[in-house]
Chains A and B, each alone.
Chain A
Amino acid sequence: MKKVFAFTVFLLMAATLLFAGGAAEVTTPKKPSSLTVVIPNTTMQEPLERIFAQFTAETGIKVEIQALPAGEEYGRLLQTRFATKDYPDVFTMDPGIKQYTKFGVDRLHEMTGDPLFDNVLDASLNFQLYKGKLYGAPWGGTGTYGVYYNKDVFKALGVGTPKNYNDFLSILKKAKSAGYIPIYEAAKSEWPLQVFSLIAWPSFVDPEIGDEGVAKLEVNELRLNEIASLRDVFSRYVALRDMGLFQDGYQAGTYEEQMEFLATGKAAVAFQISNFIPSLIAKFGEDYVTEKIGWFPLPSDTDEGIAMLTPAHQLLVPSGGKNIPYAMDLVRFMTKPEMQQIYFEYNTGIPVYKGVTKELLPYEKEVLAFDQRGKAKINIQNRLSSSFTDFPKILQNLLITSNVTEALNRMDENYRKTGNARALPGF
């Protein structure tokens, strides 16, 4: 009997060891020969290639860059890949916790407590927290959306940055009279159309609804189409077009031409995001861009307005990925101060990792000054968990129909529909 008992215990122990070994094999993947990193195709690849070359030299793991079409399409393509379980090892994404709800937190590798966050500035870290947990590592620097202007044009017009919205309109009208394109809108490229409404939010909408209103939007207790100031923002946008302040044939306007026209002084201003500065630098050189291109927030009716900040982008790792430990090694490697230094050799933005030194561009100093004066707010899109889905198309249609109510209703409907689809509380 004892023998049988001993034999049974032995068998159980052997089985335990066997299955434990098996489980260990499943949870610790073999070292991969390569990792894939998905980025939007507007990302400058040279710094990434340099960083990845160093990673390969250190680990022997190659890194393949997959550049997908930028803008809304980027998120959609990634969501489709998630749906088909075709996970990349690492991907970059816009800032904000909405990205977590977009992909689903259970589909993202939780990074809470990872040592890489020890090096992140507190303000940026807090922004990344979703229910006290971290799912993305900041990537890049803090940027801004705003009104970018050609300094030579403003000089020729004898004007400075506007003191209020009426002043802004006067400058644009003056530019038109002088033969310049007052505003170049890239309607064909679609996504740049969002910029006006988003930079108008801190100057016009936030003062009306406050943080409390944003909190209500977050839980679907406030409807977008009930916000009077948002309606006013849309009306102002249509009015800019009606006053003839956009270029002729603005529906054919492209992002590339927008950059070209602003940099060469054919256009006075463009509503843009700070990410377009690196593209301008690549085309015209840093000195030229520093000298010619200025920035200001969209002025309010009473003052120079509130700056809009866009937090750093983020690196995310799908929880369904096959090489999570190695993907996390890559994320840690990419966020080391030395690698961030390489990133900022090519890109603009205010660093979010400690120990990264960077000479700020003049417009970045302006943004920082606004922030330090307490006159800056984070992009509303990054403060909400749901999304303004199909927003560029809604605005493109608004410019065709001039129907503000229809645009607002559609924006509201899409926002709630997306919240509901993401199963967010209150939707």
Chain B
Amino acid sequence: MIKRNLQTRYPNWFLGPAIFLFGFLFVIPTLTSFYYSLTDWNINRRVITFVGLKNFKELFADIKFRATLSNTLIYSFSVTFARNFLGLLFAIMLNTAFLKGRNLFRVIVFLPYIIAPVVIGYLFTAIYHPVNGILNQTLTFFGLGFLAKDWLNDPSIALFSTIMTDVWRTTGFSMVIYLAGLQAIPHEYYESSDIDGANGFKKLIHITLPLLAPSITVNVVLALIGTMKVFVMILVLTNGGPGYATEVINTYIMSMFSLGLYGSGTAANIILSILIVIIGLPVLLILKKREVEL
């Protein structure tokens, strides 16, 4: 009886405004973008013509676009893995009750996340400077000059440098989600395992990680989706260069749109959306399956 009352507390038409806004601002633009990706729409065309899959064929034939696809995937998987690994590590370390100043450390780790990516991009452009950058100067100061590199202009490491910057920026965010997850795990489980003689590693494997699965799901899925849409960080740090070494799908889409090639740009956008679904959905389903009810 109570259940039925809860279900009927609000009439269905209350959903109307939300559905209208969602449809008007999301569903319709998404569907029209599917259509425009199949046209020759560009800044100079007054009449838009249906061209079928031509834009998609041209995109996959373009070496630059192929480079953006592989760069985007490398970037996405690397950042997702690194920020989750480090975020979890920091969360476990900073969840220790007896650690003095743990709140201060939490703030320090989280701080980069509240700085705008544009600002971080400019900061790291200076940090990575091959001659005057603080990174190379520090390495040289400690006798590690052989490790000094041209971090953003050497095509073999430029993508790695952008990845590290994003990991530095977003680790704190992952840490916060993991901290919340850790604090939700009842202490009784750990106390019982102490009685059973479990060591720290066993507790991590058999208690912490399984019960942290919902946080892992949220963190991994958010990181995957967010990093596949990376744009500002790359734009500011390298503008996709040198050459196509750090070009990602969103910088490619921007160049298409700024050239007025709206049809091709929209097609690239559709590919990005499909890619996010193809990768994000299975990851979500797999991780969801592994979640344990508390």
Interface positions of A (Cβ within 8 A of B): 73, 76-77, 79-80, 82-83, 101, 104, 187-188, 190, 249, 251-252, 389-390, 393, 396-401, 406, 410, 417-418, 421-423
Contact = CB atoms under 8 A, between A and B. Distances in A.
A401 B243 CA distance: 9
Contacts of A423: 44-45
B280 interface: no
Given A393-B243, A421-B45, 18 more contacts: A79-B259, A79-B260, A80-B260, A82-B43, A83-B262, A187-B242, A188-B242, A190-B241, A249-B150, A251-B153, A252-B130, A252-B150, A390-B64, A396-B242, A397-B243, A406-B63, A417-B261, A421-B259
Contacts of B44: 101, 104, 421-423
B255 interface: yes
Contacts of A188: 153, 241-242
B21 to A, nearest CB: 23
A422 B150 CA distance: 39
Interface string B11-45: 00000000000000000000000000000001111
Contacts of B245: 400
Main secondary structure on B side of the interface with A = loop
A8 B154 CA distance: 82
Contacts of A396: 241-243
B240 A187 contact: no
A141 to B, nearest CB: 29
B259 A187 contact: no
The 9 A-B pairs at the shortest CB distance, nearest first, are namely A397-B243, A76-B258, A251-B153, A252-B153, A400-B243, A421-B42, A396-B243, A422-B44, A251-B242
Contacts of B150: 249, 251-252
Contacts of B45: 421, 423
Contact of A83 (B64, B152, B243, B260): B260
Interface string B235-266: 00001111111000000000101111110000
Contacts of B259: 76, 79, 389, 418, 421
B43 A190 contact: no
A119 to B, nearest CB: 32
Contacts of A389: 259
A396 B155 CA distance: 10
A80 B257 CA distance: 8
Interface string B32-76: 000000000011110000000000000000011000000000000
A400 B155 CA distance: 7
Nearest to A80: B258
Nearest to A187: B242
Given A252-B150, A406-B63, A77 B258 contact: yes
Interface in B137-164: 150, 152-155
A98 to B, nearest CB: 12
Contacts of A399: 242-243
Contacts of B255: 76, 390
22 contacts: A73-B258, A79-B259, A80-B258, A80-B260, A82-B43, A101-B44, A187-B153, A251-B154, A251-B155, A252-B150, A252-B152, A389-B259, A393-B240, A393-B243, A396-B242, A399-B242, A400-B155, A406-B63, A410-B63, A421-B42, A421-B260, A423-B44
A252 B128 CA distance: 11
Contacts of A187: 153, 242
B130 A249 contact: yes
A234 to B, nearest CB: 14
A399 B153 CA distance: 12
B261 A421 contact: yes
A397 B258 CA distance: 20
A76 B260 CA distance: 8
B43 A79 contact: yes
Contacts of A398: 243
Nearest to B262: A83
Contacts of B242: 187-188, 251, 396-397, 399-400
Contacts of B130: 249, 252
Nearest to A101: B44
A393 B258 CA distance: 15
A396 B153 CA distance: 11
Contacts of A400: 155, 242-243, 245
A73 B244 CA distance: 17
Interface string B151-190: 0111100000000000000000000000000000000000
A79 B257 CA distance: 9
B153 A397 contact: no
A76 B257 CA distance: 8
Contacts of A401: 243
Contacts of B153: 187-188, 249, 251-252
Interface centre among B130, B245, B260 (most CB of A within 10 A): B260
A370 B152 CA distance: 41
Contacts of B63: 406, 410
A294 B210 CA distance: 72
Nearest to B156: A400
Nearest to A401: B243
A350 B241 CA distance: 36
B4 to A, nearest CB: 52
A326 B130 CA distance: 50
A422 B153 CA distance: 34
A397 B45 CA distance: 31
Contacts of A249: 130, 150, 153
A406 B130 CA distance: 29
